[in-house]
């Protein structure tokens, strides 16, 4: 197949998957800078560019991981209440409903099935959940913040910035996992980032080279058919 600008984009979109196991291969700092510079060509309402990106590696990344894992463990063991850690904005509904509840379950159980984890294995599930907070061993973590007084449009713009990063990364042999799971722990993360009180954590992301020997990376959830989500009107 001749690679044109059109099918290159298509190939990158179809080959991007959320990766949940990375090798320890480091990412050249210039590649990270280049990714972010190009990703910032994402559109934003009235060009407000309502994003700030923190790149964590080395010691800052380790401190965040250690403190968030300690907090997640203390919730799991019942030493501390879940309500002590809540996200700065509602990412998910407080009450799930159909058809989203089923899709969410299918995604979760599909992932655990690939790992051979059954519904009874609570501890194994918890350990897998904690892998989020090690950035799935990726050498680079990204945190996206916006101004807390901005509204939904800012989060839409950040989503577009994130998608650009994920596609640009994929095009150069890198992989990513967007991670809203960090949001609950914003009170731990934001001071380590040196973020101001005006900022709100929107999402995290792992960035690195995929470990294709890990079976979790073969998990590719399906999509609805076109007929299920598109409506064509004349
Ligand atoms: C904003 C956002 C936040 C997400 N947060 C997490 C997360 O915290 N942990 C995780 O393992 N996956 C997370 N995901 C990945 C989704 O589970 C994944 O995109 C979905 O299952 C579709 O799979 P795919 O990305 O491989 O196509 C997130 C995705 C998005 C878009």
Contact 132 CB / ligand 1 (< 6 Å):
yes
Contact 164 CB / ligand 1 (< 6 Å):
no
Q: Supply the pLDDT for residue 135.
A: 98
Q: Using CA positions, which residue lies closest to atom 7 of ligand 1?
A: 179
| pLDDT tens digit sequence for 53-106 | 999 999 999 999 999 999 999 999 999 999 999 999 999 999 999 999 999 999
Contact 166 CB / ligand 1 (< 6 Å):
no
Contact 195 CB / ligand 1 (< 6 Å):
no
* Gap from CA of 179 to ligand 1 centroid (Å): 6
Instruction: Tell whether pTM > 0.95.
Output: yes
The answer on pLDDT for 4 being more than 90 is: no
| pLDDT tens digit sequence for 140-167 | 999 999 999 999 999 999 999 999 999 9
Contact 108 CB / ligand 1 (< 6 Å):
no
Alpha carbon distance 107, 212 (integer Å): 20
35: alpha, beta or left? (left if phi > 0; alpha if psi -120 to 50): alpha
Instruction: Please state the rounded mean pLDDT for residues 206-216.
Output: 98
Phi (first) and psi of residue 11, to 5 degrees: -60, -40
Establish whether the linkage from the previous residue to 203 is cis, with ω within 30° of 0.
no
Mean pLDDT of the chain: 96
The answer to whether 217 and 111 have CB atoms below 8 angstroms apart is: no
């Amino acid at each position: 197949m001749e690679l044109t600008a059109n099918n290159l984009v298509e190939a990158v979109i179809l080959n991007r998957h959320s990766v949940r196991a990375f090798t320890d291969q480091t990412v050249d700092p210039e590649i990270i800078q280049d990714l972010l510079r190009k990703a910032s060509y994402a559109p934003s309402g009235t060009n407000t560019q309502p994003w700030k990106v923190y790149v964590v590696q080395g010691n800052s990344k380790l401190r965040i991981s250690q403190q968030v894992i300690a907090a997640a463990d203390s919730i799991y063991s019942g030493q501390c209440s879940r309500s002590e850690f809540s996200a700065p904005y509602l990412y998910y509904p407080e009450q799930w409903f159909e058809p989203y509840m089923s899709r969410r379950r299918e995604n979760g159980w599909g992932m655990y099935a690939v790992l051979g984890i059954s519904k009874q294995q609570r501890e194994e599930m918890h350990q897998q959940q904690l892998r989020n907070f090690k950035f799935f061993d990726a050498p680079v973590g990204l945190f996206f913040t916006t101004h807390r007084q901005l509204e939904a449009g800012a989060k839409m713009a950040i989503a577009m910035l994130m998608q650009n990063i994920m596609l640009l990364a994929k095009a150069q042999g890198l992989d990513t996992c967007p991670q809203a799971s960090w949001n609950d722990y914003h009170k731990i993360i934001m001071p380590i980032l040196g973020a101001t009180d005006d900022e709100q954590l929107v999402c995290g992301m792992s960035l690195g080279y995929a470990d294709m020997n890990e079976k979790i990376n073969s998990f590719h959830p399906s999509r609805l058919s076109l007929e299920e989500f598109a409506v064509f009107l004349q």
